[in-house]
Every structure is written in structure tokens, then in C-alpha cells.
Amino acid sequence: MAFQVRIPSLGESVTEGTIVRWAKQNGEAIAIDDVLLELETDKANMEIPSDHAGVVKILKPAGSTVQVGELVAEIEDGAAKAPSPTAPAPALPAPSPPSEARAASKPTPTPSTVPPPPGPAARHLLAAKGIDATSIAGTGKHGQVTKADVLTRAAAPAPAAPHPARGAERSERVVPMTRIRKRIAERLVAAQHTAAILTTFNEIDMSAVMDLRARYKERFEKKHGIGLGFMSLFSVACIAALREIPAVNAEIRGDDVVYKDFVHLGIAVGTERGLVVPVVRNADLLSIADLEREIARMAGLARDGKLLPDDLAGGTFTISNGGVYGSLLSTPILNPPQSGILGMHKIEKRPVVIADQIVVRPLMYVALSYDHRLVDGEQAVTFLVRVKERLEDPARLVLDV
């Protein structure tokens, strides 16, 4: 009896997905734990491995929208069919007239000469860069276009396009919106329509925390096996501020306010498929080194498209660092049902007055967007001030004062 392949549980609130590709084809052998298909949901892309060894029989083609529990393939016991024997070479045809010879000289592609489609990482990068896969000579197995091929092609200078003649028709390119992008759009619009979003700003003198990082980063990495970045230090400062201002870590649920005595920290990560926010669970119980490790692990899974839906669920507060892209100031949008999100920005040297003297300091603007239905302006301002105080005097991060 054939083993039935059904779509597994995809995590909280996810009921369906789209089959992006089949890693195995009809009649192809598969082993246990081999990747069978790639599925895209509203929250993440995931590769689904096989729980059975045998021969694949596909029942739902790539591009199909499928529900949790739906039958999509069968795996039959046995080995894959051996390729048919090579047919004897046909006799040479009689000479053709020159015009016919030229027409016949262009070989017709056969399935065996057509390279396999690009992998998921390469495909998403092609879409992001607007590059046609057929314009790239693949260096992968059997001529497959790899992510490295796309990056090389994107880095090459584009040939100068002729300026279109005045009045000439201009073209446009239509690309289907991915499920993740659709979901991001829906959530952002819903946040704007549901919450009373307001943003308050402050600026942080990063001198002390930059000095701390410079002095101890080598010893920190040697001891803990992970680099010391700013995100973990901002995380610790925010967690301490959330304890003092619990409304920023709460949510509105119907007619109730739900206060959390834990912090599941969302860290916004930019990927080829759009912005995702993996969640570091129980971040308030982690050390700075553990935070660095978990943030790096989650960011790596996000960029590789290997996050599971549960990795994106349950966050209570979010930090987004637009400074890595050069943003000087922004107003981040809430990630519902959360009531607060902190925006970090670019560190830039600016003149400031200290003790009646004009000095140059590395400053960062920070922004807190919050749900004004739950968080008062005084609470929001106090939250940012507490974050600022701890980062400008990093000893307070350790002493928790």
C-alpha cells in the first residue's frame, strides 16, 4: 500500500499554503528525510521532508494551494524505474539543400538538455533583482542556476540600454505577489486601521556603549563563541524598561488588557522574501551572550527561508533596526497585537552641547511606536528615557538599576 503524503500542521493560525516546488519528480526515488517539497505559507517558506522511502507519485502540481491535512502525493515502496535502453543511432539522412540544412542545424531542445529550474534561494533572488533565469548560464549540477550565479549576474554592470525614442511604447513587468508579501500587506493595513498608533522619539549618545563593545568584543567572542553586537544590548535595555512600563508589553484582547510577565522579543529581519519578525522566546531570562546566539540563529533561519510558522508567533514586543540600511529616522508600524515597537537607526556623529561646550558625539535617533489606546504618552516617553539611560551608562545594564 502506498504511503500517503499529507500537509502537516503548519503552526498557530496557519491553515493552508502554496506548493512552490517539488524537490522530487514523478517516478523518482526518495529516502527518509530527503526534501520532498517546498511550501510557502502566509508566514514563512518551509521545506517538508519525506517520512518514507520509495518512489514519488505527485498528486498536486506546483502552484497548488493546499490545506493542512490534504493529500498531495503518495510514496510507493520499491526502487525508481530504470531509464529505458538507449535506442540505436538512426541512419544518416540524405544531404539536404543548403536552405534546409541551415534550418536543421539548430538543435531542438530535449528534456535531457534542459537545465533544472533554479533552487528556491536563487528563484527568490531572481524575482527580487528582476533577472530572467534564461539569461544566466548556470554553474550548478546539470546547468542549474544557483544563488551564486544570480549574485554574480546582479553584480555585473548592466549593458547600456538605448534611450527609448520619444513616443515609443514602454513595457512593464508583472510579478505575482507572494503569500508572505500579501500577508505583510494585510497586517500593516490592519494595524493602521485597528490601533491608535503614535510615535515618540529620543536620541542616544552611543559613546559609552561603543567604547564598551570595543574594549570587550574580542574577549566576549573568545569566551562565548559569538560576536558582541548592539542588538543584544538594546534588547537588555528594552527588557528592563518593559518591566518598569508593563503596558508597552501588554495587548488588548477584546475588552480586556492582557499584561505579560514574560518577554517574547520579536527581531525584525530583512530577507529576499520581505520583512519577517522571528521571535526570541523568554528573552528576559537570557544572558547577553545567549541573546546574541539566539538572535543570530533566528536571523540565519530567516535569511535561509527555514523559519517555521511557530518561530514567528507569540511576540510581545519588537525591535527593528533600520540603521543597517542607512535610515536616519523612521516611524515603525506596530506588529499586532503588540502594543509597542522600537526603531533603531543609523549612528551618526553630530555636534552636541555638553557642559556648555560643543563636542562631537556618535548619536542614534530611536523611535517608539505604540498603541495609544493602551499606552499613554507619559509611559511611552518614560520607556524611551529608561532605554536611553541604560545605554548611555552601560553599568546599569548589569546592575539592573
pLDDT at 367 over 50: yes
Which secondary structure element, helix H or strand E, spans residue 173, and what is its range?
Answer: none
Cα-Cα-Cα-Cα torsion 222, 224, 227, 233, nearest 10 degrees, comes to -130
Distance of CA 129 to the CA centre of its chain: 16
List all residues 6 or more positions away from 240 whose beta carbon is below 8 Å from its beta carbon. Answer: 386, 390, 397, 400
CB of 28 closer than 8 Å to CB of 3: no
| Average pLDDT, integer, range 229-245 | 96
Handedness of CA 52, 57, 59, 61 (dihedral sign): positive
What pLDDT does residue 380 have?
A: 97
What pLDDT does residue 157 have?
A: 64
What pLDDT does residue 286 have?
A: 96
What pLDDT does residue 161 have?
A: 57
Beta bridge partners of residue 5, listed in sequence order: 73
Catalytic residue among 33, 51, 376, 393: 376
pTM of the model: 0.66
Most confident of 68-77, 114-123, 175-184: 68-77
pLDDT at 103 over 60: no
C-alpha atoms less than 13 angstroms from C-alpha of 210 in its C-beta half-sphere:
11
What pLDDT does residue 173 have?
A: 87
Give the pairing type, strands 340-344 and 317-321.
parallel
Separation of alpha carbons 34 and 290, rounded Å: 31
pLDDT band at 152 (very low <50, low <70, confident <90, very high): confident
| Residue labelled with grid coordinates 517574547 | 264
3-state secondary structure of 202: strand
Most confident of 176-190, 219-233, 302-316: 219-233
Separation of alpha carbons 243 and 80, rounded Å: 60
Catalytic site includes residue 52: no
pLDDT at 364 over 50: yes
Amino acid at the residue 367: A
Catalytic site includes residue 124: no
pLDDT band at 92 (very low <50, low <70, confident <90, very high): very low
Catalytic residue among 52, 290, 310, 372: 372
> What is the DSSP annotation of 274-335?
EEE--EETTGGG--HHHHHHHHHHHHHHHHTT---GGGGS--SEEEEEGGGGT-S---PPP-
pLDDT at 398 over 50: yes
Q: Is the peptide bond before 97 cis (omega within 30 degrees of 0)?
A: no
pLDDT at 253 over 90: yes
Beta bridge partners of residue 73, listed in sequence order: 5, 58
What is the second-level CATH architecture of the domain 179-399? 2-Layer Sandwich (3.30)
Most confident of 14-18, 47-51, 188-192, 251-255: 251-255
Domain residue ranges of the chain, discontinuous segments joined by +: 3-76, 118-148, 179-399
Of 121, 129, 224, the closest CA to residue 175 belongs to 129
Q: What is the pLDDT of residues 291-346, one digit of tens each?
A: 999 999 999 998 888 888 788 889 999 999 999 999 999 999 998 899 999 999 99
What's the chain's average pLDDT? Answer: 84
What is the second-level CATH architecture of the domain 3-76? Beta Barrel (2.40)
215-237 as b/e: b if 16+ CB within 10 A: eeeeebeeeeebebbbbbbbbbb
What pLDDT does residue 146 have?
A: 80
Backbone angles phi, psi at 191, to 5 degrees: -60, -40
Q: What is the pLDDT of residues 49-77, one digit of tens each?
A: 898 899 999 999 988 889 888 999 999 98
What pLDDT does residue 390 have?
A: 96
What pLDDT does residue 102 have?
A: 45
Separation of alpha carbons 391 and 68, rounded Å: 46
